[in-house]
Structure 1
Amino acid sequence: MIPHDSIVALATPSGAGAIAVIRISGQDAITIGNSVFKSINNKELTTQKTHTLHLGHIMDDSKTLDQVLVSIFKGPNSYTGENTIEISCHGSTYIQQQIIQLLLRKGCRMADPGEFTLRAFLNGKLDLSQAEAVADLITSDNEASHQIAMQQMRGGFSNEIAKLREELLNFASLIELELDFAEEDVEFADRTQFHELLNRIEFVLKRLIDSFAVGNVIKNGIPVAIVGEPNVGKSTLLNALLNEERAIVSEIAGTTRDTIEDELVIGGIGFRFIDTAGIRETEDLVESIGIRKTFEKIEQAQVVAFLFDSSEFKVSGLKLKVELEKIKNQFPLKPLIIIGNKADKLKEIEIKNLKSEIPEILLISAKEKLGVEDLKNRLLSFVNTGALRNNETIVTNTRHYDSLLKALEEITKVKYGLETNLSSDLMALDIKEALYQFGMITGQVTNDELLGNIFANFCIGK
């Protein structure tokens, strides 16, 4: 059931600022706004055109609370599809609270988290995947996640799903029609065309499912574990990457006792760097706990950056190779960058020998910040940004990913049934389940629990 009461919330971040925006939406939003607003030209908000701005004062009886600018959006031509006004007031927290409390007394209620976007969904202004993209857009903190959220909010993903669902629905209708004429033994659905459609749906679903591997790390940041023996410059490298003194640097081996994390945007992609405790045999209980956590962080990372002191390669080269093999064997599927630090201390012949021994090595000097840009480029090479450049649909939402997997499973069943001449009634059941999973993504199929879970994660004013 679509609510019609009027809700109010602060649409800008809480706290003091130059300007704050208070949003009201609902059937009586403009009437309520008019009851507290006195225009400098004595205009009545209720008689003004949609998408207009009006200067005046918010009045609590004879008391003036603030000079404001009021925006009017009449339904259905508004974000929520309802009558909506936005009050731009001065950013004092006192003024914000005074205006909101006044509006509550006039008949509004405080909006729940995400309730404005929920109403936009219920009123058909957005489908469910677009509504979820609104939350992703608000939380996007790099170019790539912003681009994906914008593409989904414009309906790129939902349009692709809706088209597949519509075509499948048409064939489902023909299959159902065959069931009504079962005694006549007729076929209304062209099996050859149906098989082609299923192949096309299967191809698209697999592409979308595969895109989640890229989309998920872009949305949440790509975790990179910086590992190696103590005192090889892991903390110095982290500081060089971040261009700030984030980690403690010391000549004492084992200084980093715990993992340190920070984020950096490289080429529009977010990376989460994890500076771990040095890997070595130790009797120190606290340090050994840190080393155990290091391996846990490697397990969680998408990329492993193994750092060693290149100036000590002559002495510790054999031990280094053993450590590298250990990581490769334990984590065979993780991209591994082998980084030789302190390369500024090497002679030309030593550099040549190192590259001969370890062809894939990347030589840097974290202290002098030499080779750091090469490392950033190497990290970017592990990210498939081709889909972003080509503006392809990328799945970032775990709920969508789950529904796509289930839809693909049902399509596979339908395809098998078609190839083995399964009866139409059994095939129709699998088609219905696939349609259900498509509908779960876009919101044609939904329930209060699902909506509650999705919109509970929104900010109050959105």
Structure 2
Amino acid sequence: MKMSDTIVAISTANGSGAISIVRMSGKNAIEIAQKVTKTTFIPRYAKLTKFYNLKNELIDIPLVIYFKNPNSFTGEDIVEFHCHGGVAVSKLVLETLIQAGARLAEPGEFSKRAFLNGKIDMAQAEAISKLIESKSKESVKILSKQLRGDLSHFVEDIRNKLLEIMAYVEVNIDYAEEDLPQDLIEQIKERLKNLSTLLEKSLKASKKRESMFNGYKVAIIGKPNVGKSSLLNNLLNYERAIVSNIAGTTRDTIEEEITIGTHIIRIVDTAGIRDNTKDEIEKIGIEKSKEAVREADIVIAMFDNSREFDEEDEAILNIIENTDKDVLVVLNKIDLESKFNNSKLNKFEIIKTSQKDENYEIEKKLESILDNYSHTEDNILISQRQVKAVEDAYNAINEAYELIETAELELFSYNIQEAILSISKITKPYEHDEMLDKMFSSFCVGK
């Protein structure tokens, strides 16, 4: 795989549609385009023209757009063929361009070239990949900000401030015979503290919203036959889970994806939690339920208004009292005679419902919590690679903060350098080419 090759790929999703786009990039792109169309092109002007194979047979009449380097996505000459939709047409166009001198692009190779040619940085490249896969409106907004360069500017600002601190200290290491002046030490400490706070905020905001891109996880818990499966079915608007009066009907976790407001959530109906079952399969289901709670972003805890508060309810109450997750407490079957002691749930706001209700209040409460998750001005990190880079920079800055008072300037300088290298990895990592190959190979072909 050489950067000097001219590459080509179908950029639109596979299948039938109104238009299919075949994208070609490289030094020979315009020459190949002119060969198969028998015409010339003006940069950034769309031209409707005939497309021929190498046997001079007409294949299609596409709209062709030429982007001259360096004013293109990859920084190279790019030609896009907007063909009539359909698998056969786009494949024939692709095959012809390969026969004319281009080669099939590797997954993510267009974006990799854009990165290597300085058109985008690594943070923007990751945003492109995530944006293509995005399922919710809120994640699109976050990713669009990163694609615009918001995270890149944040990283550059942190990096420049660390370089300023490094410059202060390096001068004193090289030339000063005495320790750093106390007022300079205080200035450096204040700057390090501010940088540490910025990174900590970004980490906390990102970890709280890491489920945004794949869907927030909501676990429904409660003792057997409390109405969990009925709630799931109502939220889905179809009978996904089996509902019966027999306790223990749901023996495994059931997970489905639904939209609440502008958010995608993965809602999990768990097996009823009880400790006295002798059924081995049900025991496994109960353990999976407890695991679902640990993995959830939000927990819906259900209680039965028609039955007295018992040990099984106590187990549920113990779970929600000892979790840091957002909790919705639902008292179900309020249309039946009340036997439940509401005072046990005094610590929580109770949503009262019945199996006949449409659960509008539950949906609005979920939407409110999810809106709160999404509304943030903090810079959100969208990958484990970015999170690791910020964590490493944060730890190095805190190490440096401890060392500045002890006048161990060489060690202090080392930690500042580590912080600079770590934070820089978000936008322009300086690792081996193999890391870049692995990173971009996760992209779709044609991007």
Same fold (TM over 0.5): yes
Aligned partner (choices 138, 141, 144) of residue 144 of structure 1 = 138
> Closer, same or farther in 2 for the Cα pair 1:2/1:391, shift >3 Å?
farther
Asked whether the equivalents of residues 54 and 69 of structure 1 are also in contact (C-alpha less than 8 Å), the reply is: yes
Count of matched residue positions in the alignment of Structure 1 and Structure 2: 442
The answer on 1:44 being equivalent to 2:40 is yes
Distance in 2 between residues matched to 1:174 and 1:107, nearest whole Å: 55
Asked whether the equivalents of residues 214 and 384 of structure 1 are also in contact (C-alpha less than 8 Å), the reply is: no
Give 2:189's aligned residue: 195
CA-CA distance at 1:143 after TM superposition = 1.5
The answer on 1:368 being equivalent to 2:337 is no
Distance in 1 between residues matched to 2:251 and 2:72, nearest whole Å: 54
Distance in 2 between residues matched to 1:51 and 1:242, nearest whole Å: 47
Distance in 1 between residues matched to 2:381 and 2:170, nearest whole Å: 32
Q: Which runs of 4+ in 1 moved over 6 A?
A: 183-187
The answer on 1:319 being equivalent to 2:314 is no
Give 1:67's aligned residue: 61
Asked whether the equivalents of residues 309 and 341 of structure 2 are also in contact (C-alpha less than 8 Å), the reply is: no
Deviations 1:204-259 (A, max 9, x none): 11111111222202223221111222322211111111223222333443332221
The answer on 1:240 being equivalent to 2:234 is yes
The answer on 1:345 being equivalent to 2:347 is no
Distance in 2 between residues matched to 1:409 and 1:283, nearest whole Å: 49
AA of the residue aligned to 1:140: S
Deviations 1:325-366 (A, max 9, x none): 44246x5333332212222335xxx49x75445333221123
> Closer, same or farther in 2 for the Cα pair 1:365/1:436, shift >3 Å?
same
Distance in 1 between residues matched to 2:239 and 2:444, nearest whole Å: 33
> Closer, same or farther in 2 for the Cα pair 1:158/1:170, shift >3 Å?
same
CA-CA distance at 1:202 after TM superposition = 1.2
Asked whether the equivalents of residues 202 and 378 of structure 2 are also in contact (C-alpha less than 8 Å), the reply is: no
> Closer, same or farther in 2 for the Cα pair 1:300/1:34, shift >3 Å?
same
Aligned partner (choices 419, 432, 445) of residue 405 of structure 2 = 419
SS at match of 1:16: coil
- What is the identity percentage for the equivalent residue pairs of Structure 1 and Structure 2? 37
After superposition, where does 1:167-178 map in structure 2 within 5 Å?
167-178=161-172
Distance in 2 between residues matched to 1:294 and 1:356, nearest whole Å: 26
Deviations 1:247-290 (A, max 9, x none): 23334433322211112222323221001122333333333332
Distance in 2 between residues matched to 1:384 and 1:403, nearest whole Å: 28
Aligned partner (choices 267, 280, 300) of residue 305 of structure 1 = 300
Distance in 1 between residues matched to 2:7 and 2:72, nearest whole Å: 15
Asked whether the equivalents of residues 344 and 365 of structure 1 are also in contact (C-alpha less than 8 Å), the reply is: yes
Deviations 1:168-220 (A, max 9, x none): 22332343344443679899x95444333222211211111111222202223
SS at match of 2:49: strand
Distance in 2 between residues matched to 1:415 and 1:2, nearest whole Å: 45
Asked whether the equivalents of residues 65 and 95 of structure 1 are also in contact (C-alpha less than 8 Å), the reply is: yes
Unmatched 5+ residue regions in structure 1? none
Asked whether the equivalents of residues 308 and 340 of structure 1 are also in contact (C-alpha less than 8 Å), the reply is: yes
> Closer, same or farther in 2 for the Cα pair 1:320/1:310, shift >3 Å?
farther
Unmatched 5+ residue regions in structure 2? none
AA of the residue aligned to 2:326: P
Give 1:395's aligned residue: 381
Distance in 1 between residues matched to 2:204 and 2:130, nearest whole Å: 20
The alignment yields a C-alpha RMSD, in angstroms, of 2.5
Asked whether the equivalents of residues 215 and 396 of structure 1 are also in contact (C-alpha less than 8 Å), the reply is: no
SS at match of 1:17: coil
CA-CA distance at 1:427 after TM superposition = 2.1
Asked whether the equivalents of residues 2 and 122 of structure 1 are also in contact (C-alpha less than 8 Å), the reply is: no
CA-CA distance at 1:53 after TM superposition = 0.5
SS at match of 1:367: coil
The answer on 1:410 being equivalent to 2:408 is no
Distance in 2 between residues matched to 1:460 and 1:258, nearest whole Å: 37
Aligned partner (choices 245, 250, 261) of residue 244 of structure 2 = 250
Asked whether the equivalents of residues 20 and 90 of structure 1 are also in contact (C-alpha less than 8 Å), the reply is: yes
Distance in 2 between residues matched to 1:414 and 1:186, nearest whole Å: 15
AA of the residue aligned to 2:366: L
Give 2:281's aligned residue: 286
CA-CA distance at 1:384 after TM superposition = 6.8
> Closer, same or farther in 2 for the Cα pair 1:279/1:89, shift >3 Å?
same
Task: Give the TM-score normalised by the residue count of structure 1.
Answer: 0.88
CA-CA distance at 1:392 after TM superposition = 3.2
SS at match of 2:309: helix
Asked whether the equivalents of residues 60 and 84 of structure 2 are also in contact (C-alpha less than 8 Å), the reply is: yes
CA-CA distance at 1:383 after TM superposition = 4.2
Distance in 1 between residues matched to 2:186 and 2:312, nearest whole Å: 60
Asked whether the equivalents of residues 237 and 367 of structure 1 are also in contact (C-alpha less than 8 Å), the reply is: no
Task: Give the TM-score normalised by the residue count of structure 2.
Answer: 0.91
Aligned partner (choices 119, 142, 147) of residue 153 of structure 1 = 147
Deviations 1:113-139 (A, max 9, x none): 111111111111111111101111111
